[in-house]
Structure 1
Amino acid sequence: MLKSSEAPRATASGEVRPVWTETNWPFGIDPWGKGKAFRCKAEDCGSEVQLYVRAKLGFCNCATGVANDGDLEQMGDLALIGKTTPVGAGREIVVGPMRGRSRAYRVDGRSGGALSLAFNQRCDMVAATALTGPGAPASLEPAVLAFLNSDRMLKWAEIALGL
């Protein structure tokens, strides 16, 4: 396991910050292949979070990208985690030079929820899925986006998307 050095566990003010640890990809191989998996412990994120991220080359609408919630449903990776129900409308996000959408979901059979994110560069995209413990998955969006916008993850996306 590789430990992320993105941020210390706590700031001088006592505010807890996420610490992301890389773990093994827990899903079988499908047409999109393996991605990267990360874990943030409850003491670091307020609730246990599992984050799954992978590139999907040539899957995005080259002209519009991930423009609406329908695009996010089609391009995201929620199928990996089971049956989900949207909690509300999605919203636009920015990850590095890429734009996309994020939306919170309830996951059948789980006390926690999920956050689906997808963002693109031209015709290629990155799908990210965060499984959360009890609580509102949307409340973890800033922490997930901060990690996806970290130098480490932007460099990974650049390599994975062939930018």
Structure 2
Amino acid sequence: MLAAVLAWTGLPRHAAATATAPVWTEIAWPFPKDPWGKGKAFRCKAADCGAEVNVYLRAKIGFCNCTTGVADDDDVDRMGDLVLLGEASPLGTSRPIRIAWMEGRSRAYALNARNPSGKTAISVVFRDRCDMIAATAVLGHDRPAAIEPSVIEFLNGNTVMRWAEITLGL
């Protein structure tokens, strides 16, 4: 069965032996305290994700438009946490995403200023009613589209969902 799946995907038969699943480890929150408080931080090492990826999560209670949610690029730019990283330039338009029962948007950015060239970020903003979660993934390369599915999968996983339920008071 595995050989059939690998053949269908175009992956070589040895891919199952060499493919690794992302391993996310919680790390210390690296940013100074601000009005939104401390969040959660996670790292996936290059050996597991192809390049080092750091994901920073924060809840912003009452900050989301209760009616329209995260509707467009301006909402992602305004609601996300890119301010933690310095200047960033969008690499395109945002796209709709779904994290568990919550809807939102995701957008890729090139990081400028305080960050080494070639680094990019993905801002994922999603909401439950009037509360939202800002997830920022900082990537050690310039191919955000390659890692975004792993970031979305992590955000949909048990670790983040348990934290979201507790933090949002569900």
Same fold (TM over 0.5): yes
- Bigger Cα Rg: 2
Unaligned runs of 5+ residues in structure 1 are: 1-10
Q: Which amino acid aligns with 1:119?
A: F
Unaligned runs of 5+ residues in structure 2 are: 1-14
Superposition deviation, residue 14 in structure 1: 2.4
Q: Which amino acid aligns with 2:75?
A: D
Superposition deviation, residue 20 in structure 1: 0.4
SS of the residue aligned with 1:140? helix
- The percentage of counterpart residues that share the same residue type is 56
Superposition deviation, residue 134 in structure 1: 1.6
Q: How does 1:1-163 map to 2 (within 5 A)?
A: 12-109=16-113, 110=116, 111-163=118-170
Superposition deviation, residue 112 in structure 1: 1.2
RMSD of aligned residue pairs (Cα, Å)? 1.2
The answer as to whether partners of 1:95 and 1:145 remain within 8 angstroms in 2 is yes
The answer as to whether partners of 1:112 and 1:137 remain within 8 angstroms in 2 is no
**Which of the pair is proportionally richer in helix?**
2
Runs of 4+ in structure 1 off by over 2 angstroms are 11-14
Equivalenced residues, count? 153
Alignment deviations for residues 38-88 of structure 1 (CA, whole Å, 9 cap, x no partner): 011101000011110010000000001111111010100000001000011
Q: Give the TM-score, by structure 2 length.
A: 0.87
Q: Which amino acid aligns with 1:84?
A: A
